[in-house]
Structure 1
Amino acid sequence: MGVLTNRLSDGCFVPEEPQLSRAPEIDPAAPLLFIINAASGRHDSDATRQQIETALHTSGRTGELLFTHPDQLAQVAQQAARAACARHGIVVAVGGDGTINSVAQAAHVQGCVMAVLPQGTFNYFARTHGIPADAAQAAQVLLRCEPVPVQVGLINERVFLVNASLGLYPELLQDREAYKTRFGRSRVVAFAAALVTLLGQHRQLRLRIERGTNVRDLTTPTLFIGNNRLQLEQVGLAQASALDQGCLAAVMLRPIGALAMSWLLLRGSFGTLGEADTVESFQFHRMLVKPRLAWGGGRVKVAFDGEVNWMRAPLEFRVSPKPLYLIKPITEDGATGRAGGGA
């Protein structure tokens, strides 16, 4: 397979590194490795176990159920991905977008096939790829469908499937988790938490953004990088189509007050965020972001797929040259997806 270096008309580039030409081979006799985040979603562990065991028994397949707590999730995912790769098997993420991210990181590095049984609040990744929210139905997808290449975003080589961000959005996520712990997991609680966060005081980011020869200095309360068509379409951003061209979508806000910020939240809930004149969006394949940090500071708070962490600046956002191979339904027209099809 040749190396592609063509420039797209919108300024994005086809990856210069060759991608895998075919999905990893799967051995039907290999046990499925289920990585289950016991703290994810509204489903208890016993119900999850029963649903998985029923699906395995009905299909005549074998599997291993690996229950883990969030602080051990990454380690368990890495071990399971190595085992799945050696056996030509499948590693299965059972949980929300954060759990899926940890398993995807391991599966992407090892090059093994991955599947999803979603149990989160929003489940953007699973919904985008047509994976049912019902565990029994999702298990049938896992057992009957084939691996498809899915686009992966990278932030300093860390995988993200749905989004990555810095500034206000990571703060919003932290407040949302605190509200969920107190009031329960629901979209109403998530919206209320976001509203409270936006009405508070915010620090503006001062960033230098480099895209090829294009260098720009700006001030913004948040920088949001999207890699999920459903999430971008729901808030009304036209850049959702960028994912079809092997790109990521960037969204920035002009410096505005708390009330104006809350109004943007409402516009997003009605799917008209892209029409606001205080919102700027563009697409890219690779972008370097250099935050202006306090003296002596070299790390910045970032969020990816619902998880918040600290990363060393500068931050490089790019489309991975290697796709993630995901078990998902085939579309009605027979398409099997593509690496640039959007996570």
Structure 2
Amino acid sequence: MTPLDTPAAPRDEAPARAPVLTIPADAPFFIVMNAGSGRKQSAETRAILDRELGAAGRRYELRLVDDPADLSATARRAVADAIAQNGVVVGAGGDGTLCAVAAATLGSGCPYAVLPRGTFNYFSRDHGIPADLEASTRLLLTARAYPVQVGVVNGRMFLVNASLGLYPKLLEDREVYKRQFGRSRLIALFSAMATLLRRHRHLRLHIDHDGERREIRTSTLFVGNNRLQLEQIGMKEAPLLEQGLLAAIAPRALGRLAQIALTLRGAAGRLSDADNVVSFTFRRITVTHPGKRRRRVKIATDGEVTWLNMPLEFHVAPEPLFLLKPEPDIAQANRS
């Protein structure tokens, strides 16, 4: 692995550490859930909320979103109501849904919580939030809100990762396979192998970081904000995220078989051993395409794919998200 920069001494100042918030015992919960995962899951969620929160005498509103296009607007209304009533906004779903609800919450000062209902649940797992719905619902009643770091690319927030190049294509193909064969980690891996066997274009990128410009040729640029995910693929930069940094990973231009071998190495948690991977940590970088500064590129943020105009500005958000999570020692024990 080839580092672009030494991560120990970034020039940008780290954001000041925000305080931990204690949630009032009567704070209502405004829960935004993506109903696209199925009515059965929605009904199960409502039943557990009634049982766990109802028994504690806590008020909540479950706002189901049938059309993903309505998710952001629904989340913004939930934030406005939570601010008015001194409540908590809760996202229920996979990492993409959690990110959309968190984006509406960021900067509002309103506490945010999650009920993980996805396949991988990297965000909740990294913060020690139980995958079991009953346990994560009970946590709402006792947890405090800790400041957590989020990343931003051209004004678009991400909790777990952002990427361009081959990785967004992998995500698009994975959704096709999921619709045909169901949601599982095995299906996701099979889909990735099928995508990597096809021809793909390489990117030539300029990366401006701390006053220096580097050029790389790569199949994908991956920016991580999740220690658990980086640990699983074996990146040594994973612990540095707790110092207010993001991590960038870019495999050098490779053929199809070499790309598959590199992917398998990452699945085995040994990506840091690879010589043909560029990686570094940062608080802010600018990414451009030589000669095509205004080029539009496909970007994936927490599994959701969109188009953005270059240059791409990746940075740590200046304000944190106030996340309801277990106390630090318990959260560490729960990470898996």
| Contact 1:28/1:89 (8 A) holds in 2 | no
2:29 is the alignment partner of 1:32: yes
Instruction: Indicate how the Cα distance of structure 1 residues 52 and 275 shifts in structure 2: closer, same or farther if over 3 A, else same.
Output: same
Structure 2 partner of 1:114: 112
| Contact 1:94/1:117 (8 A) holds in 2 | yes
AA in 2 matched with 1:312: N
Identity of aligned residues (%): 48
2:316 is the alignment partner of 1:329: no
AA in 1 matched with 2:179: T
Structure 2 partner of 1:176: 174
| Contact 1:98/1:306 (8 A) holds in 2 | yes
Summarize deviations over 1:34-91 as a string: whole Å, max 9, x none: 1011113895211111011111112110100100021211110111112112222100
Instruction: Indicate how the Cα distance of structure 1 residues 25 and 144 shifts in structure 2: closer, same or farther if over 3 A, else same.
Output: closer
Structure 2 partner of 1:78: 76
| Contact 2:225/2:241 (8 A) holds in 1 | yes
Structure 2 partner of 1:123: 121
Map 1:159-308 → 2, pairs under 5 A: 159-292=157-290, 298-308=295-305
| Residue 24 (structure 1) shift | 5.6
| Contact 1:12/1:246 (8 A) holds in 2 | no
| Contact 1:113/1:147 (8 A) holds in 2 | yes
2:60 is the alignment partner of 1:63: yes
| Contact 2:285/2:314 (8 A) holds in 1 | yes
Q: SS of the counterpart of 1:154?
A: strand
Give distance in 2, aligned partners of 1:120 and 1:269.
19
Give distance in 2, aligned partners of 1:43 and 1:285.
42
Give distance in 2, aligned partners of 1:288 and 1:151.
19
| Contact 2:197/2:256 (8 A) holds in 1 | yes
| Residue 333 (structure 1) shift | 8.1
Structure 1 partner of 2:10: 11
Structure 2 partner of 1:3: none
AA in 2 matched with 1:38: A
Structure 1 partner of 2:306: 309
Q: SS of the counterpart of 1:231?
A: helix
Q: SS of the counterpart of 1:143?
A: coil
Structure 1 stretch displaced more, 57-66 or 285-294: 285-294
| Contact 1:24/1:112 (8 A) holds in 2 | no
Q: SS of the counterpart of 2:140?
A: helix
Pairwise CA RMSD:
2.1
Q: Which runs of 5+ in 1 are unaligned?
A: 1-7, 336-343
| Residue 30 (structure 1) shift | 3.4
Q: Which runs of 5+ in 2 are unaligned?
A: 1-6
AA in 2 matched with 1:13: D
Summarize deviations over 1:77-133 as a string: whole Å, max 9, x none: 111112112222100001000000001101103221100000000000000001111
Give distance in 1, aligned partners of 2:62 and 2:186.
32
| Contact 2:107/2:321 (8 A) holds in 1 | no
Structure 2 partner of 1:341: none
Structure 1 stretch displaced more, 106-115 or 127-136: 106-115
Aligned length: 326
| Contact 1:95/1:120 (8 A) holds in 2 | yes
AA in 2 matched with 1:29: D
Summarize deviations over 1:12-51 as a string: whole Å, max 9, x none: 5323x656x4356744333210101111389521111101
Give distance in 2, aligned partners of 1:33 and 1:12.
39
Q: Give the counterpart of 1:320 among 297, 317, 322.
A: 317
Give distance in 2, aligned partners of 1:87 and 1:26.
13
Q: TM-score, normalised by structure 1?
A: 0.90
Instruction: Indicate how the Cα distance of structure 1 residues 322 and 290 shifts in structure 2: closer, same or farther if over 3 A, else same.
Output: same
Give distance in 1, aligned partners of 2:28 and 2:120.
29
Q: TM-score, normalised by structure 2?
A: 0.92
Structure 1 stretch displaced more, 126-135 or 43-52: 43-52
Structure 1 partner of 2:4: none
Give distance in 1, aligned partners of 2:291 and 2:51.
53
Q: SS of the counterpart of 1:110?
A: coil
Structure 2 partner of 1:340: none
Summarize deviations over 1:239-277 as a string: whole Å, max 9, x none: 102202111000001100000111111111110011111
AA in 1 matched with 2:207: I
Q: SS of the counterpart of 1:144?
A: coil
Give distance in 1, aligned partners of 2:273 and 2:319.
34
Give distance in 2, aligned partners of 1:286 and 1:181.
36
